[in-house]
């Protein structure tokens, strides 16, 4: 096996292994950002939201340590590029938030539910993948590229190397970048951990602590896998290359574009130019890990739609998640954990928009129930 093929194989199978753990842990702990927002809106419970915030804190701490040690270069990721397409990020995030509420979960939760035997989630995944592919390369992509992406702030024209918070702090204050990175990352991480663990009831919820810690650590492991182990000189071009990723640069956990790439490789399997990638392995790994846990614990259950309205909601939810996730460059994991671990300003905008879209949809659904009652 050539060096290139060996490195690609390492990244792909490593991604599958990481995602397998994520799928099993998410199935065990009921990790779900949409569910976390729902718990707050409907019950005032912050347990699952604290689990999500813990995952962000762990991912941020680990990614920052890798960055500051020189093990990886997060400036190569899609999240911190100096162009900030704020309209795409804002609108895409808001639509994704609506979609994940209608579809009963975000991209990661959809994959987990598929592994657990949920046929509704399988329908959501199909429409999500089709919509995401259309937004990358099809009709929706024309709309995105023509009307949304051009509305952006070019931070590079103002002398900024990226849109990450340390770069903004360095430009504003003149503080050396490494010091700014350490200060910002440390302050945000500590602030999140204090908020998460100040709640006594959360400290007693082992599943939530394990879920947040493991999924956050999985993001760090994926950064190291693609950005360090999978980064080497290409023997054909003699240039340093990120092997095994669809973006040809450093990647970590994200599930919307990978769903589209999974659909593409299934539809065009005989096309020899296509191959299994890190992203495709992530999608398959989460399903496999969730299924393995569900079968082992005898919680695997077939579940279908209960009405035509239920079907319509999930179909629309999948379409909105596919379009919104690609347009916003990530989901509640792709932007909400992976993106935030880079301290990207765009990731923060996307997360706030996702939460706002989900919150508004839940409030509307609750209002409808009151009117019908």
Tokens, residue 270: 């005989």
d(CA 109, CA 310): 18
Q: What is the pLDDT of residues 141-196, one digit of tens each?
A: 999 999 999 999 999 998 898 999 999 999 999 999 999 999 999 999 999 999 99
Asked if 152 and 145 count as a contact pair (C-beta separation under 8 A), the reply is no
Above 90 in pLDDT, residue 18?
Answer: yes
Q: Which of 281, 289, 117 is nearest to 215 (CA)?
A: 289
d(CA 328, CA 350): 6
Q: What is the pLDDT of residues 118-150, one digit of tens each?
A: 999 999 999 999 999 999 999 999 999 999 999
On the 0-12 / 13-18 / 19+ scale of CB atoms within 10 A, 182 is middle
Average pLDDT over residues 342-356: 98
Above 80 in pLDDT, residue 40?
Answer: yes
pLDDT at position 234 is 85
pLDDT at position 1 is 59
pLDDT at position 3 is 82
Asked if 216 and 62 count as a contact pair (C-beta separation under 8 A), the reply is yes
* pLDDT tier, 372 (very low <50, low <70, confident <90, very high otherwise): confident
* pLDDT tier, 335 (very low <50, low <70, confident <90, very high otherwise): very high
* pLDDT tier, 236 (very low <50, low <70, confident <90, very high otherwise): confident
* In the block, residue with structure tokens 């919509």: 131
Tokens, residue 308: 């035509």
d(CA 359, CA 93): 12
Above 80 in pLDDT, residue 230?
Answer: yes
176 φ, ψ (degrees, to nearest 5): -60, 140
CA distances from 85 to 81, 115, 321, 363 (A): 10, 34, 18, 28
* pLDDT tier, 235 (very low <50, low <70, confident <90, very high otherwise): confident
* pLDDT tier, 237 (very low <50, low <70, confident <90, very high otherwise): confident
Q: Which region holds residue 70: left if phi is over 0, alpha if psi is between -120 and 50, else beta?
A: left
pLDDT at position 366 is 93
Above 90 in pLDDT, residue 4?
Answer: no
d(CA 280, CA 13): 10
DSSP 8-state class, residue 199: -
- 29 or 273, greater pLDDT: 29
DSSP 8-state class, residue 232: E
Average pLDDT over residues 340-352: 98
pLDDT at position 257 is 98
Mean per-residue pLDDT of the chain: 96
150 φ, ψ (degrees, to nearest 5): -65, -20
């Amino acid at each position: 096996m050539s060096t290139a093929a060996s490195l690609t194989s390492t990244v792909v199978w490593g991604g599958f292994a990481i995602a397998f753990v994520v799928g099993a842990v998410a199935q065990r702990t009921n990790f779900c950002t949409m569910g976390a927002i729902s718990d707050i809106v409907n019950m005032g419970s912050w347990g699952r939201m604290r689990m999500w915030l813990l995952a962000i804190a762990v991912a941020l701490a680990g990614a920052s340590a890798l960055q500051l040690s020189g093990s990886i270069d997060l400036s190569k990721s899609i999240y911190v590029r100096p162009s900030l397409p704020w309209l795409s990020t804002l609108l895409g995030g808001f639509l994704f938030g609506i979609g994940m509420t209608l579809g009963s979960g975000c991209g990661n939760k959809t994959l987990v539910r598929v592994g657990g035997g949920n046929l509704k989630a399988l329908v959501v995944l199909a429409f999500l993948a089709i919509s995401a592919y259309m937004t990358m390369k099809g009709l929706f992509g024309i709309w995105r590229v023509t009307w949304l992406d051009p509305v952006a702030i070019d931070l590079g024209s103002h002398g900024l190397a990226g849109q990450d918070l340390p770069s903004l702090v360095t430009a504003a204050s003149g503080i050396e970048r490494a010091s700014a990175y350490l200060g910002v990352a440390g302050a945000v991480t500590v602030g999140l951990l204090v908020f998460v663990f100040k709640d006594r009831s959360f400290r007693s919820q082992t599943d939530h602590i394990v879920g947040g810690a493991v999924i956050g650590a999985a993001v760090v492991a994926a950064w190291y896998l693609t950005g360090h182990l999978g980064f080497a000189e290409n023997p054909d071009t003699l240039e340093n290359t990120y092997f095994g990723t669809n973006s040809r640069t450093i990647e970590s956990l994200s599930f919307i574009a990978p769903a589209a790439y999974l659909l593409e490789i299934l539809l065009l399997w005989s096309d020899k130019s296509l191959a299994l990638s890190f992203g495709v392995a992530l999608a398959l790994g989460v399903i496999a890990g969730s299924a393995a846990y569900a079968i082992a614990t005898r919680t695997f259950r077939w579940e279908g739609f209960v009405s035509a309205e239920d079907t319509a909601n999930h179909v629309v939810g999948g379409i909105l998640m596919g379009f919104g996730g690609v347009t916003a460059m990530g989901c509640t994991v792709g932007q909400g954990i992976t993106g935030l671990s880079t301290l990207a300003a765009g990731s923060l905008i996307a997360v706030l928009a996702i939460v706002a879209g989900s919150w508004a949809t839940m409030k509307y659904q609750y209002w409808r129930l009151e009117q019908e009652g």
